Amino acid sequence: MKKQSTVKGFAVLSIGTMISKVLSLVYVPLLTRILGGAEPIGIYNVSYQIYVFVYVLTNAGIPTAISKLVSEFVATKNYKDSVKSFRMCRAILIFLGIVMSVIMFFASGIIASFMNFPQAKLAVMALSPAILFTSVSSTYRGYFQGNGNMTPTAVSQVLEQFFNIVFSLVFAAFLLKNGIAQACAGATVGTTLGAFVSALYLMITYEIARKRETHIKNPEGVKRKSNRKILNKIVNYALPITICIGMQNLGTLFDTSNTKSRLLAAGFLEHKATALVGNLAQYQPLINVPITVLTQLAVVILPAISAAVAVKDKKTMVGKINFAFRLCFIIAIPSAVGLSALSNPIYKAIYPSSVSGYRIMLMGAEVLVFMCLLQIQTSILQGVGKLYLVTLYSLIGVAVKILTNYVLVAIPGINIYGTIIGSIVGFSTTIILNYLLMKRSMRVKFHMFRFMRKPIIASILMGGASYGVYYAFNFVLLYVTKIQYIANLIGLIFAMIAAVVVYGVVLVFVGGIRKSDMELMPGVLRRRIPSKIVAMMRR
């Protein structure tokens, strides 16, 4: 199978993710308008969080185990066992997918009531078949990623999101006449259909690749592993990862349930509490764009580090780790600053009916830096085999987050913003524990916080420039057109362009971008960068 470099693999996945997330950003405001505002979006968001939790319990551990196992076997030229481990994982995941789909369908009412959103029952039922289809998709994605081929995953993500958006919007609009609960259920139909199309594409792609590689054999002297040893490896890899990510998502479910109940305890009425939870749901897709891009870096880094560990290549391992941290801050810090500086115009463009929702973005954009850093740390530690301690530290962070939220959200003057503070405190706890573990156990020199300085300098200048450009254009256009939405949208577009240019130029000037980073850019864009700027870059 054709193997991609870490940089190219990340670039491919990032492009696929960005396309998916741009589609998602179009989808969320359209769905908000169809359903009728923040309150029904709160119901939809709860059903989706329940789905994500069941998805994580089913799919978080084993696909990662596939990726890690396949990368290790391929690195040691044990190609036969790489395929055997994939087939074993596929059988386990299909079984789990069927079981969890059935449980989710029949327990939908109980789960929705537990979340304090009984209206979400139908939506949870409609989402249950998606668990089986995503289980199939996850096995194939793990196999391709373990082989260093990220293209099938990227293409499947775009296909999945496209079908999700089209059919979710159609069914939500069609069922709206039957009530909000039915419309929210209709808004989830596309998720199931998208997952089915994604699974079908990956299965076909795998069969084509398999027919091309039937001639590949293990070199002489490579010892095969027994089924029992491979199964033990699958369990040892998958179980702690499932617990780790599962507990993080369980913490999110508790947050959602507790947030509404604690808002009620603070004195808010039922409809206002639901609307505030809906405002939080509107904010999350916006910060998820850079987060999911960095998630793809984590996906690429784990098998790369696992392969380096398998062949005891410390130099490669350190290079991958430092590359991951550096790229994390290059993407996450300007994303947080940009979303914060332009929070008001972004909300006016995407959620024009939301009056005060932008304040959540203004305060909460920095959360994405903590989330991105935590994901990179987790993948690195999983790659070097520190699976159980990573799980323990994640549980500690989740507990701190839930406790902080419980206390702060019930304070009327803080209310929904307590969830943001709780996220920062919880993530920071786990990040510190992970950092100490890395310093103590890895015995290699790596840099984490050193890579923050240059992106921070460039991001501050970028934030100021984008803020100034927006308000200058908005002022002039509002005077000329008299249409507030058009003036805001055009001003926002020019502000975003200015932000990209200023950040890129300043980062090059301070030495934050290297010539090797140019591989991440599409060739068309790379060729348009002036040669003088390229000459300023370090290698």
| Residue ranges of domains in the chain | 6-447, 453-536
Per the model's pLDDT, the better-predicted residue between 240 and 476 turns out to be 476
At residue 201, does pLDDT exceed 80? Answer: yes
Query: Is the CB of residue 31 less than 8 Å from the CB of residue 285?
Result: no
Lowest mean pLDDT among 215-229, 299-313, 404-418, 442-456: 299-313
Per the model's pLDDT, the better-predicted residue between 115 and 175 turns out to be 175
pLDDT band at 99 (very low <50, low <70, confident <90, very high): very high
pLDDT value of residue 309:
67
At residue 460, does pLDDT exceed 90? Answer: yes
At residue 398, does pLDDT exceed 90? Answer: no
Alpha-carbon distances, residue 376 vs 162, 243, 321 (angstroms): 28, 17, 9
At residue 379, does pLDDT exceed 80? Answer: no
Task: Give me the mean pLDDT over the 77-88 stretch.
Answer: 80
C-alpha neighbours within 13 Å on the C-beta side of residue 386: 22
At residue 64, does pLDDT exceed 50? Answer: yes
pLDDT value of residue 200:
92
pLDDT band at 390 (very low <50, low <70, confident <90, very high): confident
Cα–Cα dist 416/253, whole Å:
15
Query: Is the CB of residue 364 less than 8 Å from the CB of residue 427?
Result: no
How far is C-alpha 224 from the geometric centre of its chain's CA atoms?
Answer: 36
Which among 79-83, 122-126, 241-245, 482-486 has the top mean pLDDT?
122-126
pLDDT > 90: percent of the chain: 9
For residue range 129-183, what is the model confidence (pLDDT) as tens digits? 999 998 888 888 877 877 777 788 778 888 888 888 888 888 888 888 888 888 8
First to last CA, the chain: 30
pLDDT band at 452 (very low <50, low <70, confident <90, very high): confident
Per the model's pLDDT, the better-predicted residue between 270 and 202 turns out to be 202
Look up residue 514 and give its DSSP letter.
B
Cα–Cα dist 392/398, whole Å:
10
At residue 303, does pLDDT exceed 90? Answer: no
Per the model's pLDDT, the better-predicted residue between 529 and 323 turns out to be 323
Per the model's pLDDT, the better-predicted residue between 459 and 17 turns out to be 459
Cα–Cα dist 351/367, whole Å:
21
* Other residues' Cβ atoms within 10 Å of the Cβ of residue 325: 20
pLDDT value of residue 495:
93
Q: 351-360 burial, b for 16+ CB within 10 Å, e for fewer? A: beebeebbbb
pLDDT value of residue 373:
87
φ, ψ of residue 36 to 5 degrees: the values are: 105, 30
At residue 10, does pLDDT exceed 60? Answer: no
pLDDT value of residue 355:
66
Please name the residue that has the structure tokens 């803020």: 467
Task: Give me the mean pLDDT over the 379-390 stretch.
Answer: 77
pLDDT value of residue 6:
52
Look up residue 118 and give its DSSP letter.
G
Q: 512-521 burial, b for 16+ CB within 10 Å, e for fewer? A: bbeeebeebe
Cβ partners under 8 Å of residue 342, min gap 6: 466, 467, 470, 492, 495, 496, 499
Query: Is the CB of residue 243 less than 8 Å from the CB of residue 391?
Result: yes
Which among 67-76, 453-462, 517-526 has the top mean pLDDT?
453-462
How far is C-alpha 306 from the geometric centre of its chain's CA atoms?
Answer: 21
Lowest mean pLDDT among 46-50, 123-127, 513-517: 513-517
Per the model's pLDDT, the better-predicted residue between 465 and 219 turns out to be 465
Cα–Cα dist 203/105, whole Å:
26
Cα–Cα dist 501/430, whole Å:
34
At residue 76, does pLDDT exceed 80? Answer: no
pLDDT > 70: percent of the chain: 79
For residue range 242-266, what is the model confidence (pLDDT) as tens digits? 776 676 666 666 766 778 788 888 8
Q: Considering the chain, what is the average pLDDT of its residues? A: 79
Q: Which residues lie across from 514 on neighbouring strands?
A: 538
Per the model's pLDDT, the better-predicted residue between 59 and 16 turns out to be 59
Per the model's pLDDT, the better-predicted residue between 306 and 100 turns out to be 100
Cβ partners under 8 Å of residue 122, min gap 6: 108, 181, 182, 184, 185
Which among 74-78, 162-166, 212-216, 428-432 has the top mean pLDDT?
428-432
Return the SS3 of 41: helix
DSSP string computed for 20-38: HHHHHHHHHHHHHHHHTSH
pLDDT value of residue 108:
87
pLDDT value of residue 301:
62
- The 3-state DSSP composition of the chain as helix, strand, coil percent (nearest 5) reads 85, 0, 15
Q: Which residues lie across from 538 on neighbouring strands?
A: 514
pLDDT value of residue 524:
45
At residue 531, does pLDDT exceed 70? Answer: no
Which among 48-57, 152-161, 233-242, 394-403 has the top mean pLDDT?
394-403
Per the model's pLDDT, the better-predicted residue between 340 and 314 turns out to be 340
Among 444, 300, 292, residue whose Cα is nearest residue 372: 292
Lowest mean pLDDT among 228-237, 363-372, 456-465: 228-237
pLDDT value of residue 516:
59
